[in-house]
Amino acid sequence: MGRLLLLVLLLPLPCIPGLPFYNGFYYSNSAHGWDPGLGGVQCLFNGVKLVVETPEDTLLSHRGANVTLPCRYHYEPALASHRPVRIKWWKLSEHGAPEQDVLVAVGPRHRSFGDYRGRVHLRPAGERDVSLEIRDLRLEDSGRYRCEVIDGLEDQSGVVELELRGVVFPYQPPQGRYQLNFQEAQQACEAQEAAVASFEQLFRAWEEGLHWCNAGWLQDASVQYPITLARGPCGGLGLAPGVRSYGPRHRRLHRYDVFCFAAALRGRVYYLEHPEKLTLSEAKAACREDGAQIAKVGQLFAAWKFRGLDRCDAGWLADGSARYPVAHPRPTCGPLEPGVRSFGFPDPQSRKYGVYCYRPP
Ligand SMILES: *[C@@H]1O[C@H](CO)[C@@H](O)[C@H](O)[C@H]1NC(C)=O
């Protein structure tokens, strides 16, 4: 028997092959000490396993909210002592968008990155709870996040999926069909208080019945269109319904429509009660006189989807289009599915429409 060697665990934890592990200490009976150069990861705990738990269900939240992405870890079998770990949260790359670091923490120190700086921290909820709080959610925050716990060389992780409530709508500019390259598509959505939709968002909208016969840009610069009823000019006869893809397109040279994603609203959209119909510039002025602004397309879609806005009167919107929202279809009010109907971009001088206004909270 050689001397008994007591090794206190330090961060980063060395990998010690073949040593028994008791109560947070390694004991060695080797006269020559230990050789950290040998062995694989599984040698670290000699049977003590690090387990990371995250929820399976997608978290649903909305723009401007604070959300907690749950993540806990434990050891099997249980360990009584506290062991220092390193925590890393990052957002997974999705459809061409790069992976993003979110937060790294060691003990009480932590550092956040990029757009997340100042908006994220670990929930101060006790040991082995490393849930991530994100404040003031942005549209771009939706996606999958990985929570990684690193204990020396042992390293386990789990994934949390976050989805923001919103509505997808196809958008064409006043110039007509297939006019937007990728950058112009992004600007078009932003101008309507929305962002270019992701594939997941378009797919969900298709599951809920979105049918659109023109191809539009998505966030990953691919071009797709959702078909619920395959028809001749629209996906081809005899083909199954689905989201059809043209694949990735050239961001500058190719021109399509775009699918925008508008988040649930905080303010209120309403049809302005007004004695006469208005020209476009009168419509803008009328909303201002009412202490509001003429509504953007994304705001009208969000009010229709999340507030059940239902009105059979077509009204001007900020982009110069005229539309009306129908939540409860009826024979006197257009087609028999719910939706936002469009009259395209009428002559701005015509006096055939009312106006939808938006008042911030
Ligand atoms: C989010 O958290 C911050 C800081 O704790 C708080 O000031 C803010 O009111 C919260 N926002 C919402 C929407 O709850």
Domains in the chain (CATH in brackets) are 48-164 (2.60.40.10), 166-262 (3.10.100.10), 264-359 (3.10.100.10)
pLDDT for position 264: 84
Mean pLDDT check: name the lowest of 45-54, 212-221, 231-240, 278-287. 231-240
Strand partners for 132: 69, 122
Give the integer Cα–Cα distance in Å for 45 and 19.
9
Region 338-346 average pLDDT: 94
pLDDT for position 320: 97
pLDDT for position 227: 83
Atom of ligand 1 nearest to the CA of 66: 1
Q: Which amino acid is at 187?
A: Q
Q: Which residue's alpha carbon is nearest to atom 4 within ligand 1? A: 135
Give me the helices (H) in the chain, please: 182-191, 199-207, 280-289, 297-307
Question: Is the overall model pTM greater than 0.75, yes or no?
Answer: no
Residue of 61, 66, 137 with the most ligand 1 atoms within 8 Å of its CB, for mutation: 66
228: pLDDT strictly greater than 50: yes
Q: What is the pLDDT of residues 297-322, one digit of tens each?
A: 999 999 999 999 999 999 999 999 99
Q: Using a pLDDT cut of 90, give the percent of the chain over it.
A: 57
**Quick check: CB of 121 below 6 Å from ligand 1?**
no
Ligand 1: centre distance to CA 117 (Å): 16
pLDDT for position 233: 67
- Separation in Å, CA 337 to CA 11, 61, 263, 290, 345: 61, 27, 22, 32, 22
Region 176-184 average pLDDT: 96
Ligand 1: centre distance to CA 161 (Å): 21
**Residue 315 dihedral angles phi and psi, to the nearest 5°:** -135, 155
Q: What is the pLDDT of residues 13-32, one digit of tens each?
A: 333 333 333 333 333 333 33
Ligand 1: centre distance to CA 68 (Å): 12
Give the integer Cα–Cα distance in Å for 123 and 223.
39
pLDDT for position 95: 64
Q: Which two tokens stand for residue 323?
A: 């539309």
Q: What is the pLDDT of residues 106-116, one digit of tens each?
A: 988 899 999 99
Q: Which two tokens stand for residue 251?
A: 């961001």
pLDDT for position 102: 97
Residue 11: pLDDT band (50, 70, 90) is very low
Q: What is the pLDDT of residues 35-78, one digit of tens each?
A: 333 333 333 456 788 999 999 999 999 888 899 999 999 998 88
222: pLDDT strictly greater than 60: yes
Ligand 1: centre distance to CA 122 (Å): 15
pLDDT for position 39: 33
Region 80-95 average pLDDT: 85
Atom of ligand 1 nearest to the CA of 65: 13
**Quick check: CB of 266 below 6 Å from ligand 1?**
no
Q: What is the pLDDT of residues 252-276, one digit of tens each?
A: 999 999 999 998 888 899 999 999 9
Residue 236: pLDDT band (50, 70, 90) is low
Strand partners for 7: 26
Ligand 1: centre distance to CA 94 (Å): 28
pLDDT for position 145: 97
**Quick check: CB of 66 below 6 Å from ligand 1?**
yes
pLDDT for position 48: 82
1: pLDDT strictly greater than 60: no
